């Protein structure tokens, strides 16, 4: 700083300064502790329930500040370089370097270039007081006088080390970078304590010319380096190359940590709460102790850092194993059953993903068969079925306004009559659709919305495909709906922000904050039966086998699901204390290759569950009042053997019965032959989301010794046949043993474009 009046004698100038200072109000002087306390990083640290850092998020886009750095944590080389560059007699003067002032005044008088008279203390006074801050046109005469007076006051009230520390933390360096911590981490990728002499010289040169071209900064840095190491030869050319690389580097990431999506979610909830748009959001708990934390904006969450780290590592490792099956994305969430607190939130696979910014925990995807437990729970609660009720798993052709809906099982096979327990545990599609016919799509949709699932359309819009997960839901809402089942049918909201009313570090269940939003939604007896079915390894044998990855050494209930064309794969389940939801797929919506319910999300779910219960038991829930356990037997099938083995089964009181058998009045050996399916005039629409070669129309008939003809050509023998639908109008004929046509149906198949597309593949 070069004052126009500084060519006056020193005593005269001092008297002038004193007169000006007395004629104006005293400039406000803050204490060193106040400056430290009011310092705010441009980042917000998102912490777990125990205060461990999860994620650091850039929340101030206007400036880039790091953490306040104590002078002892700044490298000696940087301290030396800064003093040599900006204020050689810093430790000798009392705020104003009169020798530098005289030199500046003499230079102004003779129009020659001098170093300038602004001391570190004077610069700091301008940084601390907005009225003294330099603008684009420079400081006014009054500002210069005020800066000088403020510097003298600082020197009287602060120690030299405090002045230098505050200066290093508040001085602008380059662009948006303010303070030595942000500079060190951005340009050099290290903490201020690790800066060497070369890096220190570049840093100090940036104070003098923060936005100069790299070669200008390098020239200045070379001068500083020569002053620091006068006995050594300085390679200014090499320093020029180093400076050019450093000033272009941006190593200090805007976000870093292991929970980016969770951090953004909780900060958004806080902003909404501050704006008054989320009145139910609790006030975030902020640590009140610790010098480092006091200087950084922090938000405490309910997450557990060790669990978050394990979940992220497990998901990424498993997705690497699935890379050759065209799988790159995944998400995971862990909820505390009692409180609704989010314990882990992994929004994506990170570097493995082409869309790492997409939060898979909140993204809407088709849940496949994971809606079935909620459907069967509703049907049981409404006493439409019991866990032992027999449901036909055979070809179903359900008439709808747009044509026939023909559901298929995952393996394209039918099991015949099965109990509801087997149908749900083995994830059979046709029995689920038959169950939805009993409940109705609209009634089921209302229950799903009540359970927090964000259905965009009415139940009638989705139709019977709703039983197989045609609606889109988020992983968070689906996992929380399963938490409702774990809590005996009581629904409550989730939270990720630590409440100030409870110790955030508490992991003991007895100290957890109970979610007060719990509302009765499903009959607790029905919820218990659904959990009992999903925890039964024997019931899922028909689809998953005896040695399934879904079986755990502790009590747990789990359901998998796969959406159309293998776009999404899910595993959601609960133990005594936790509910875990996992999704794998592709954020782009592209199909996976050969990923089943047990090879996609289920292995990740199982590993996380094992981690949670490594030292914590999980016991089966106690049956609620009003349940009856009774012995049941099953009648014979077509081969004469029992449809299912006798067992003990749970019933809502009043629905129990000892025997479940087929209705013999529906025998198929009638005296005359006739076609029972499809109906005459049926219109069949080829589903574009199912490979055409896997779509079949089932023909059914009564009578003995019959055979089928399609458009006059022999097709098959027997009472049932599977036909690959071909676009056009067709005549189906049932022929007896003598070749006489005894019945016929006319049908139409639509969807030629889909079949042709498949043929080209």
Q: Distance between CA 532 and CA 83 in Å, rounded?
A: 73
- pLDDT of 400 over the 60 cut: no
Tell me what pLDDT residue 281 has: 40
Tell me what pLDDT residue 270 has: 86
Average pLDDT over residues 135-152: 67
User: Which residue, 550, 440, 568, is CA-closest to 448?
Assistant: 440
SS3 content of the chain, % helix, strand, coil (to 5): 40, 20, 40
Are 441 and 371 in contact by the 8 Å Cβ rule? The answer is no
Q: How far is CA 31 from CA 65, 137, 214, 469, 531, in A?
A: 21, 29, 37, 63, 63
Residue 542 pairs with which residues in a beta bridge?
Answer: none
Indicate the angle between helix axes 98-110 and 10-23, nearest 10 degrees. 100
Span 296-344, pLDDT tens digits:
688 999 999 999 999 999 999 999 999 999 999 999 999 999 999 999 9
User: Which residue, 370, 389, 376, is CA-closest to 528?
Assistant: 376
Are 738 and 673 in contact by the 8 Å Cβ rule? The answer is no
Q: Distance between CA 300 and CA 284 in Å, rounded?
A: 6
Predicted TM-score of the model (pTM): 0.74
Per-chain mean pLDDT for the chain: 83
User: Which residue, 556, 562, 682, 568, is CA-closest to 607?
Assistant: 556
Average pLDDT over residues 138-144: 59
Span 496-506, pLDDT tens digits:
988 753 333 33
Cα Rg of the chain (Å, integer): 37
Average pLDDT over residues 748-757: 58
- DSSP conformation class of 532: H
DSSP one-letter string for 318-369:
HHHHTGGGT--EEEEEEEETTT-BEEEEE---GGG-S-TTS-TTTSEE--GG
Are 128 and 170 in contact by the 8 Å Cβ rule? The answer is yes
Q: Distance between CA 500 and CA 495 in Å, rounded?
A: 13
- pLDDT of 286 over the 50 cut: no
């Amino acid at each position: 700083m070069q004052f126009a009046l500084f060519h006056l004698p020193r005593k005269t100038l001092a008297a002038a300064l004193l007169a000006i200072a007395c004629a104006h109000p005293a400039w406000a002087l803050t204490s060193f502790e106040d400056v430290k306390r009011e310092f705010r990083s441009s980042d917000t640290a998102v912490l777990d329930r125990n205060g461990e850092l999860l994620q650091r998020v850039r929340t101030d886009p206007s400036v880039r500040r790091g953490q306040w750095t104590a002078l002892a944590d700044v490298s000696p080389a940087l301290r030396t370089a800064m003093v040599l560059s900006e204020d050689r007699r810093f430790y000798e003067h009392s705020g104003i370097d009169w020798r530098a002032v005289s030199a500046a005044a003499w230079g102004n008088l003779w129009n020659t270039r001098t170093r300038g008279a602004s001391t570190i203390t004077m610069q700091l006074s301008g940084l601390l007081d907005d009225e003294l801050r330099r603008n684009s046109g420079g400081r006014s005469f009054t500002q210069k006088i005020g800066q000088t007076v403020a510097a003298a006051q600082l020197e009287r009230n602060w120690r030299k080390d405090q002045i230098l520390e505050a200066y290093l933390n508040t001085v602008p360096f380059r662009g948006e970078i303010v303070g030595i911590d942000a500079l060190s981490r951005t340009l050099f990728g290290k903490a201020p304590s690790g800066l060497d002499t070369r890096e220190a010289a570049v840093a100090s040169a940036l104070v003098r010319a923060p936005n100069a071209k790299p070669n200008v900064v390098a020239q200045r840095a070379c001068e500083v380096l020569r002053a620091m190491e006068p006995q050594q030869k300085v390679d200014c050319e090499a320093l020029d190359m180093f400076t050019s690389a450093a000033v272009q580097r941006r190593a200090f990431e805007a976000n870093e940590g292991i929970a980016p999506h969770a951090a953004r979610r909780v900060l958004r909830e806080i902003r909404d709460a501050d704006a008054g748009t989320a009145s139910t959001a609790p006030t975030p708990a902020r640590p009140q102790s610790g010098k480092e934390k006091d200087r950084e904006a922090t938000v405490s969450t309910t997450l557990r850092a060790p669990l978050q780290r394990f979940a992220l590592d497990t998901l990424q490792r498993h997705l690497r194993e699935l890379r050759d099956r065209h799988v790159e994305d995944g998400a995971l969430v862990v909820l505390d059953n009692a409180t609704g607190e989010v314990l882990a939130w992994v929004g994506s696979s990170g570097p493995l993903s082409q869309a790492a910014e997409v939060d898979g925990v909140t993204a809407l995807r088709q849940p496949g068969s994971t809606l079935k437990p909620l459907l069967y729970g509703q049907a049981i609660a409404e006493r439409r079925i019991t866990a032992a009720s027999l449901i036909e798993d055979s070809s179903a052709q359900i008439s709808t306004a747009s044509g026939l809906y023909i559901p298929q099982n995952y393996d394209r096979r039918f099991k015949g009559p099965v109990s509801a327990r087997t149908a749900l545990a083995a994830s059979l599609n046709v029995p689920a659709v038959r169950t939805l016919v009993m409940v109705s799509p609209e009634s089921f949709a209302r229950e799903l919305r009540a359970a927090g699932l964000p259905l965009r359309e009415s139940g009638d819009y989705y139709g019977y495909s709703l039983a197989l997960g045609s609606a889109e839901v988020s992983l968070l809402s689906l996992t929380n709906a399963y938490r409702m089942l774990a809590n005996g049918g009581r629904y409550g909201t989730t939270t990720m922000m630590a409440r100030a009313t409870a110790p955030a570090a508490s992991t003991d269940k007895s100290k957890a904050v109970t979610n007060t939003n719990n509302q009765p939604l499903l009959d607790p007896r029905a919820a218990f039966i659904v959990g009992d079915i999903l925890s039964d390894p024997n019931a899922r044998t028909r689809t998953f086998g005896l040695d399934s990855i879904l079986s755990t050494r502790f009590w747990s209930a789990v359901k998998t699901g796969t959406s159309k064309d293998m776009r999404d794969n899910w595993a959601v389940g609960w133990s005594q204390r936790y509910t875990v939801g996992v999704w794998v797929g592709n954020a782009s919506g592209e199909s996976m290759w050969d990923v089943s319910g047990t090879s996609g999300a289920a292995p990740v779910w199982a590993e996380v569950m094992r981690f949670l219960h490594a030292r914590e038991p999980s016991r089966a829930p106690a049956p609620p009042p009003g349940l009856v356990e009774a012995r049941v037997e099953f009648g014979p099938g077509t081969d004469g053997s029992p449809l299912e083995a006798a067992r003990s089964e749970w019933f809502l009181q009043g629905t129990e019965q000892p025997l479940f058998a087929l209705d013999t009045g529906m025998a198929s050996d009638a005296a005359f032959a006739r076609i029972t399916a499809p109906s005459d005039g049926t219109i069949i629409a080829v589903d574009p989301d199912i490979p055409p070669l896997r779509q079949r129309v089932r023909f059914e008939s009564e009578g003995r010794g019959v055979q089928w003809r399609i458009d006059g050509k022999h097709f098959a023998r027997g009472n049932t046949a599977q036909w690959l639908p071909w676009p056009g109008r067709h005549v189906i004929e049932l022929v007896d043993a003598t070749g006489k046509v005894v019945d016929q149906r006319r049908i139409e198949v639509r969807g030629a474009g889909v079949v042709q597309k498949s043929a080209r593949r």
